Amino acid sequence: MKNDEAKKRIDFLRKELEKHNQNYYVHNQPTISDFEYDILMSDLAHLEKLFPEFTDTSSPTQKVGSDRVKGFKQFPHEYQMLSLGNTYSTEELQDFFARTEKLTGIFPEFVCELKFDGTSISLIYENGILTKALTRGDGTIGDDVISNIRTINSIPKKVVANNLPDKFIIRGEVIMTREVFSRLNNEKEANGEQPFANPRNAAAGTLKTLDSSVVASRQLQCFLYFLLGENLPSNNHFENLKTAKLWGFNVSEHIKLCKLQDEIFNFINYWDTARHKLPFDIDGVVLKVNSLSQQQELGFTAKSPRWAIAYKYKAEQARTKLVSISFQVGRTGIITPVANLEPVLLAGTTVKRATLHNAGQIQLLDIRLGDTVVVEKGGEIIPKIVSVDISERSQNSKVFQFIGNCPECGTKLIREESEAGIFCPNPNCPPQIKGKIEHFISRKAMNIDGLGEETVALLYQKGLVKSAADIYKLKKEQLIQLERFADKSAENILAGIEKSKETPFRKVLFALGIRFVGETVAQKLATYFKNIDALIQCKSEDLVNVDEVGEKIAGSVIAFFQNPENITLINELKTSGIQFAENTENQVLYPPLLKDKSIVVTGSFDRPYDRKKLEELVLNYNGKLVKSVSKNTAFIVAGQKPGPDKIEKAQKLNIKVISSNEFLKIIDLL
C-alpha cells in the first residue's frame, strides 16, 4: 500500500470510528456491531503501525470514546478510566501472555472474570459514604450520575467495615437482565415507542435518564470488579475483590485465579457455552494480571492497560439478502461502499447495514445485488459480509459496477495504480470541506462549544461557512434564522467561537490539519519556532532539527505553506484574532538539567511527588522518559515495590538506582 492510499484509509477509518463512538457512547444507538467496530479499529491500528508518520494523538486508537452528556455535573477521574484491548483469537491471547511474561520476567497470575455487556461506572466512597458515581466519560472526565446509581439496590450507599480506607474507588458494570429488558421493550412497543436494540443500550440509556424514578423502575443491577486507591487491603486484585465482597459489594462469584494458561483457556471455553444460561448478557472474558505491582510495572498505552485484555467470543453468523449498495465520501475524498441488507436478527441485534470498505472487497467476494450473503458478528453485535451463497444467485444477476463519479459532487473518481481506494480528487467536494472544518473545531483542536458535525453541515448548506475562517465571521442574526436555533443557542455558539480565540498556538497549529502533524508534533513545532511566520519561512533542514520531525513530516509542512489557499486561510484567521504565536508570559521555563538523559521511573511514590509528577519533571527538565532499562539509561528513579526486572537489569548494566529525594536534588528541588 502506498503512503497516499494509507493516509486516505487512515483518515477515513478515524472519521468512521469517531462517528460510531458518538453513536455508541452518547446516543446509545450503535449502528454497527462490536465486532465490526473492532475490525475497523484493528485495521486503523495496523495501518498506524505500518505508517508511523501518520501518528496522531487524537486518533481513536489513542483515546477513549466519550459518553458525556449535558444535564449532569462532570468531575475528573482520579485514575483514568480507560478501555480494554480485546481479541477474538487464542493466538493473540498467547501473544499477550508472552508480552506480559517478557516485561515482568515471569508468567504472572491472572484473574479471569466475565465481561459484562453493560455500561461502566466508577463509584467514589469517602469515609464509607458513596459521594460520587462517574460514568466513563472520555476516560479523564465523567458524568456524575449518583442520583440514578442510588436507585440500584445492589450498590451500597454506606460501607461499614474494619480497616476501611478513608477514600477508595470501586468500578464495575451496570447491567439490565434479559427479563427486565424484554418487559421494558414490550412496554415501549405497546406505547408506540422505539424499542432498545439490546440490554446494553437499555442499561446505558437508563443510566443517563434525568428522572431517577424512571431509573428505579427499570431494576438495574451492578457487578463490581476493580478496587482503586491508597492503602488497599491487599497488593493483589483477587484478594481485593474478595474483601470488597465482604464489604457488601456485588462481586461476581464467577471469578477464578489462574496460574497456568490451561486454567485460563478452560475458563474461557466453559463460559463460551455456559454464558447462555446466565440471566444477563456477557460477550467474553476479561483477564487481569493479579499483582498490583506488576500492573503498575506493565503500565498503560494511550487508551488501554497493558496488564489486562478482553477475550471476546467467536463470531455468530446469519444469512440475509443484499438489497443495495450506497456510497459515502470521506473527509479525504475516499469513497466507501456500504451494503444495505434485509434486516436480520443476529445475537439480539437487528442488522441492516455493513461497511464493504472498498471496491476490492466487492470484487474479491463477487458481491452482487440480490445475493444471499453470510454476515458475521463477534462480540454480540453487527456484521461484516464474509461470503456469498452463489447457489442461490439469480441467473440474471450482473457483476456489480462501482460508481464512476462522486455521489456528492459528480467529479470523475480516480483510482491510482496498485491502490485499493477510489477517491474524489475535487478539493471543493462538500464532505472534504466539511471534514476539514470539523477537524478544526474538534476538542483536541479549537474545541468550540456548540459546534458539531450536524451544525457544520447546516452552516455549510446555508452557505454561511465554506472554510474554518468563516466561523469567525458568523453573526447572531444569521444563526437565529436557522432551524433549531434560538437566541440562547446562537449566543452559546458565538461565545464558544469567541473563547476559541484564546486557544494556544500549538493547538491552532494542530487545528490547521497539516498532513502528518498530529497533536504532539504540533506542540513541538510551536515550541521550537514560537510563531507561525517563522514556521512559514523555515526550510526543510530547519524542520528536521525539531524532535520527532523527519523528512516526511518536514516535506508535508513545507508543501502546506506553499499552497496559497492555506496562506489565505491563515491570514484570515489572524485577522479574526487567532493565536499564531506562543504566549511565553506565564510559561515556566525549566533549565535543561536532564538534557539527553534517558530515565526510568519505577514503583510507587508518596505525594506530592507521586509517579506521575516525577515523570512530568523528567520531561520538563528536558529528559527522555523511557519504560525499559538499557545500556543508554542514565539512571533509575525507584520507589516502593519497583519492577524487579528493571532493578536486576540495572545491577547487571551497572546503572545507578536513586530515590525520589535524590532525583529532586539533581533538579534542584531539594
Strands (E), 17-151: 74-76, 86-87, 110-116, 119-126, 129-135, 141-143
In the numeric block, the cell 472498498 is attached to 358
Reduced 3-state DSSP string for 433-455: HHHHHHHHHCCCCCCCCCCCHHH
Highest mean pLDDT among 53-57, 365-369, 520-524: 365-369
As a whole number of Å, the CA-based R_g of the chain is 27
Instruction: Answer whether residue 410 is part of any domain.
Output: no
Active site residue 115: yes
Highest mean pLDDT among 81-90, 190-199, 420-429, 587-596: 81-90
Same domain, 387 and 489: no
For residues 408 and 353, give the distance between their C-alpha atoms in angstroms, rounded to a whole number: 20
What angle (nearest 5°) sits at the alpha carbon of residue 319, between those of residues 318 and 323? Answer: 125
Output phi, psi for 246, to 5 deg. -65, -30
Query: Hey, which residues does 70 pair with through a beta bridge?
Result: none
Instruction: Answer whether residue 441 is part of any domain.
Output: yes
Same domain, 250 and 129: yes
pLDDT tens digit sequence for 583-617: 755 555 678 888 878 888 888 887 778 887 887 78
Instruction: Answer whether residue 307 is part of any domain.
Output: no
Same domain, 612 and 550: no
Total domains in the fold of the chain: 5
The DSSP symbol for 350 reads E
DSSP secondary structure, 529-598, as one string: H-BHHHHHH--HHHHTTSTT--HHHHHHHHHHHH-HHHHHHHHHHHHTT---B---TTPPPPP-TTTT-E
CB atoms closer than 10 angstroms to residue 242: 15
Asked whether residue 265 carries a pLDDT value surpassing 90, the answer given is: yes
Same domain, 494 and 513: no
Q: Which one of 63, 115, 303, 597 is the catalytic residue?
A: 115
pLDDT tens digit sequence for 390-418: 888 888 888 988 899 999 999 999 875 54
Residue 418: its pLDDT value, please? Answer: 45
pLDDT band at 482 (very low <50, low <70, confident <90, very high): confident
The predicted model gives 87-91 an average pLDDT of 85
Query: Which of 177-181, 263-267, 548-552, 629-633 is predicted with the least confidence, judged by mean pLDDT?
Result: 548-552
The DSSP symbol for 201 reads H
What angle (nearest 5°) sits at the alpha carbon of residue 651, between those of residues 648 and 652? Answer: 90
Instruction: Answer whether residue 412 is part of any domain.
Output: no
Percent of the chain predicted with pLDDT > 70: 90
Residue ending a domain, among 502, 533, 554, is 502
For residues 211 and 179, give the distance between their C-alpha atoms in angstroms, rounded to a whole number: 22
Residue 257: its pLDDT value, please? Answer: 96
Highest mean pLDDT among 261-270, 272-281, 507-516: 261-270
Containing domain of residue 637, as a range? 598-666
Instruction: Answer whether residue 416 is part of any domain.
Output: no
Same domain, 214 and 267: yes
Question: Could you tell me the three cell numbers for 303?
Answer: 487508551
Question: Could you tell me the three cell numbers for 119?
Answer: 455500561
For residues 278 and 276, give the distance between their C-alpha atoms in angstroms, rounded to a whole number: 6
Residue 547: its pLDDT value, please? Answer: 65
Q: Are 546 and 442 in contact (CB under 8 A)?
A: no
Question: Which amino acid, one-letter code, is at 319?
Answer: R
Of the candidates 100, 84, 102, 116, the one whose C-alpha atom is nearest the C-alpha of residue 258 is 100
Same domain, 109 and 213: yes
Residue ending a domain, among 502, 520, 539, is 502
Instruction: Answer whether residue 662 is part of any domain.
Output: yes
CB atoms closer than 10 angstroms to residue 338: 15
Average pLDDT of the chain to the nearest whole number:
85
Question: Which amino acid, one-letter code, is at 134?
Answer: L
SS3 93: helix
Residue 381: its pLDDT value, please? Answer: 45
In the numeric block, the cell 465481561 is attached to 115
Which residues lie below 8 Å from residue 383, measured CB to CB, with a gap of 6+?
33, 35, 36, 317, 318, 346, 351, 354, 375, 376, 377
Q: Are 503 and 440 in contact (CB under 8 A)?
A: no
Residue 378: its pLDDT value, please? Answer: 47
Q: For the chain, give percent helix, strand, coil, nearest 5.
A: 40, 20, 40
What angle (nearest 5°) sits at the alpha carbon of residue 89, between those of residues 33 and 118? Answer: 40
Residue 25: its pLDDT value, please? Answer: 53
Same domain, 100 and 159: yes
* Bond before 233 cis per omega within 30 degrees: no
Same domain, 47 and 104: no
Query: Which of 8-17, 61-70, 405-414 is predicted with the least confidence, judged by mean pLDDT?
Result: 61-70
Exposure string of 112-122, with b = 16+ CB inside 10 Å and e = fewer, is bbbbbbbbbbb
Q: Kindly report the CATH number assigned to the domain that includes residue 626.
A: 3.40.50.10190
Residue 473: its pLDDT value, please? Answer: 95
pLDDT band at 216 (very low <50, low <70, confident <90, very high): confident
Question: Could you tell me the three cell numbers for 586?
Answer: 506565564
Query: Which of 52-66, 494-508, 514-528 is predicted with the least confidence, judged by mean pLDDT?
Result: 52-66
The predicted model gives 319-326 an average pLDDT of 91
The predicted model gives 181-189 an average pLDDT of 78
Question: Could you tell me the three cell numbers for 173?
Answer: 458494570
Q: Kindly report the CATH number assigned to the domain that includes residue 489.
A: 1.10.150.20
State the pairing for strand pair 256-258/110-116. Answer: antiparallel
Question: Could you tell me the three cell numbers for 630?
Answer: 538499557
Of the candidates 147, 144, 199, 155, the one whose C-alpha atom is nearest the C-alpha of residue 175 is 199
pLDDT band at 437 (very low <50, low <70, confident <90, very high): very high
For residues 248 and 268, give the distance between their C-alpha atoms in angstroms, rounded to a whole number: 27
Same domain, 611 and 656: yes
Higher pLDDT, 6 or 662: 662
Q: Does this model's pTM top 0.85? A: no
Q: How far is CA 338 from CA 256, 354, 421, in A?
A: 42, 6, 14
Q: Are 630 and 646 in contact (CB under 8 A)?
A: no
What is the maximum alpha-carbon separation in the chain? 84
Residue ending a domain, among 372, 392, 412, is 392
For residues 375 and 319, give the distance between their C-alpha atoms in angstroms, rounded to a whole number: 6
Q: Kindly report the CATH number assigned to the domain that includes residue 28.
A: 2.40.50.140
Instruction: Answer whether residue 397 is part of any domain.
Output: no
DSSP secondary structure, 235-280, as one string: SBHHHHHHHHHHTT----S--EEESSHHHHHHHHHHHHHHGGGSSS
For residues 125 and 167, give the distance between their C-alpha atoms in angstroms, rounded to a whole number: 6
Burial (0-12, 13-18, 19+ Cβ within 10 Å), 547: exposed
Q: Are 368 and 393 in contact (CB under 8 A)?
A: yes
Same domain, 93 and 201: yes
Same domain, 228 and 167: yes
Percent of the chain predicted with pLDDT > 90: 36
Same domain, 25 and 103: no
Exposure string of 567-582, with b = 16+ CB inside 10 Å and e = fewer, is eebbebbeebebbbeb
For residues 344 and 353, give the distance between their C-alpha atoms in angstroms, rounded to a whole number: 10
pLDDT tens digit sequence for 119-165: 999 999 999 999 999 998 888 888 899 988 988 988 999 999 988 99
Instruction: Answer whether residue 656 is part of any domain.
Output: yes
